[in-house]
Structure formats: structure tokens, C-alpha cells
Structure 1
């Protein structure tokens, strides 16, 4: 209980200190000096201005370079044409994303098929399936079909995500199929 009171006291003390510093400032130089002292006190208390920290940007987008046909179950689906790879965490040769740091990541993939074809996929993290996408062009007559899936994952540094075929990988339209992700 005493920790709770100490924490509340520290916050109240910080607010009172800021208020008194700002009210007592007579000129702009005096205000800046007092503001800098306030920030110094806050930093010593463990507070940080999060807006001043630069945020690590990790994001990628890739699409299939060519059509993919007759992909066997649990084979990697290749998205080899990279349009964005900020942070260089996506490898277009292996079609795998390796987390450069711990955090939450969002991934989306879209698969388009030709009329009469199916293409099922799954997103895996370190080889474990966590989400699926089923595209069935067999029931739509002469229509091209597409499906998208999105998943948000908590990842550790060096965890690996990729898209694998799931059961059926008959025919996917290359330029219309994509894989993307980013760190939240």
C-alpha cells in the first residue's frame, strides 16, 4: 500500500513542480531554463517523453513474380517481387520474414486464383500454423477468385514467419497475389 501512496505522491509532486515552475517564469529564457530543470527532474524520476524517441520502422510488401502452380502441401509460397522492405527483415529469396526485434507485428496476404482452381495457404511462425486462407475458384464458374487473411502476432527477435501451401496449391495469379507485414 505504501508503494501506491509513494507513486501517487511522486506524480502529484511532479505536477505541482511543473505548475509552479511555469507560473513563476517571467521571461522566455527563464521559462526555458525552468522547463529544462523540470525535464531533468522527470528523467531522474524515471519518466521519459516518448514522443522524442525515434521509433524503429519495420515494414514490407511483396507480390508473386510469376504464377505458382501445383505447390505441394507445406511448401513455401514465393513472393519474390519486393515493393517495400524498410528494415530489411523480409527475404525475397526465401519469402521469409525474420523479426529484427521483439514486438507485435501485423501480416496480411492475398491469394488470387484462376477460374476452376483452388489455392489454400497458411501463415506459419517458426513452422507452426497460426492462420489460414482458402480461395476456391472452382465454384465461381468463370470468375477469378481472391481471398485475404490478416493476423497479428507477438514475436520475439529472430522469430520467422512465412506463407506455406495448405493442402491444395493448384494455381495462383502472380501479379495479383501479395504478402505484407509491419511492426505495430
Structure 2
């Protein structure tokens, strides 16, 4: 019942009940039916016929009522949260029992994957030509396996919002203009221009980027040749 109004199925059951009650218990109706069929006999015979007819009508009404209930279509619509909970439960069960198809396990793991990397140092390079990738040789952390130290490129394991940060160290009277490149497009700049004063210079920058699975990010030199002191450089990132 919704808001004081009976459901459709409740109305059907009520109608069948009162039709059955009215017809099966109406002696006059049964008597008229007997006379119409031309059946005659003693009072005892009429009572026997009445009883049988009552039983027959009652059974017929009951069957009709049950048939109506059985054919009533119910189409529950679960909420989105309920659907997601059921899906997660299936995925967890799939992983727990060691289901043979790796896709099931992989999809579940990707949803709960922590993605973060931290690199430092530059592999045997102190100058980087314009447009070339800055290579960070030592990998301290690579959760999710997104950073490729051979190519100096981070590949997003899954879609999301990522935060990147990098630090460049340059010597006195040197420059190192670097940028964060995502899929070939520069998204953030870190110009480090050391005008002297007898000291070295450290320059840092951070960027927030939305990435799709498989997108690539790296650091390059965007202006002239970058002079970089490898010991104090780093490149890191993680997914929110």
C-alpha cells in the first residue's frame, strides 16, 4: 500500500475474494442455476447438488485468484548504490576463489590500485638539448608500475587526476628551462635561470593534470640546452 492507496495486486485479490464469497455462498444463485439446467429431485438431492456446486465454484474462484497473483509481474528497480554493492561483492568473490580469467582479478585490482612514483638523479646526463626528455635514473617508488625509467616516461595505469612535481638543480651562470609534457603537449613550465652570484640554484614546479588510462607524461627541456646537476634533481607524481 502506497500513501493509503492499495496496490494493484491488492485490489485484484480483494475483487476475487468478494466475487468468490458472494457467488459461492449465495444459495439462491445456486438454486437458480440448478433449475436452469433442468435438474430436479428431492430436497436432499438439491442440497447435495448445492454443496457440490458451491465446492466447484469455490475451487474455480480460488484457482482464478491464484493464477492472477502468479501472473502479476513485479519489476523491482534496485538503486545505483545497491547495484554497485552487488557488483563489488561479485568481484571480491571472483578474486577470493581464484577465478581463472585474469580480467576479473585485474579489473578489481585496478579499482583499488594506489598509483605513486618517486625518482631522482639523472642517468649520466648533465646537459639536455631542447625538446629532449630529462632522464631520472634512480627509482625510489613505483606503485602501480606507471613510471618507465628506461624512457623517463610515466604512463597512467588508469584514468584520474594526477599531481606531478619536479625539481631541477643548475650550476652558477647556467640555465635549465624544463616543462611537464602530457601526450606531447606542455602543461606546466619550470624556468631555472641562474644569473650568478656564485651560488647554485634549485627550481621546483607542480602541476595537476587529468589523464586517461594510457596517457603519457614526462619532463623535457623547452628552451635551449638545459644544464642540470644530476645529484639534486627529482620527479614524482601520484593519483588523487
**TM-score of the pair, normalised by structure 1:** 0.70
Does structure 1 conserve the Cα–Cα contact (< 8 Å) formed by 2:123 and 2:135? Answer: no
Q: How does 1:47-126 map to 2 (within 5 A)?
A: 47=81, 55-66=112-123, 68-126=125-183
More helix per residue: 1 or 2?
Answer: 2
User: What is the CA–CA distance in structure 2 between the aligned matches of 1:169 and 1:63, rounded to whole Å?
Assistant: 20
In 2, Cα distance between equivalents of 1:70 and 1:112: 12
Residue 66 of structure 1, CA deviation: 4.6
- Matching of residue 153 in structure 1 with residue 187 in structure 2: no
TM superposition shift of 1:135: 0.8
Mapped pair 1:143 → 2:199: yes
How many residues get paired? 140
Query: CA offset at residue 140 of structure 1?
Result: 3.6
- Could you tell me whether the CA contact under 8 Å between 1:105 and 1:183 is conserved in 2? yes
Deviation of 1:67 (Å) = 6.0
CA RMSD of the aligned region, Å? 2.3
Change (3 A) 1:88 1:62: same
Q: Measure the CA separation in 1 of the matches of 2:193 and 2:125.
A: 15
Gapped regions of structure 2 (runs ≥ 5): 1-77, 89-107
Asked if 1:177 is matched to 2:237, the reply is: no
Contact 1:111/1:172, CA 8 A, preserved across alignment: yes
Query: Where is the strand percentage greater, Structure 1 or Structure 2?
Result: 1
Within 2, Cα distance between the matches of 1:154 and 1:116?
36
2:188 alignment counterpart: 131
Contact 1:106/1:151 (8 A) holds in 2: yes
The answer on whether the counterparts of 1:61 and 1:178 sit within 8 Å (CA) in structure 2 is yes
Q: Give the C-alpha shift of residue 70 in structure 1.
A: 3.2
Offset of residue 169 of structure 1: 3.1
Query: Could you state the TM-score of these two structures normalised by the residue count of structure 2?
Result: 0.54
Return 5+ residue gaps in structure 1 as ranges: 1-43
Higher-RCO chain (CA-CA 8 Å, sequence separation at least 6):
1
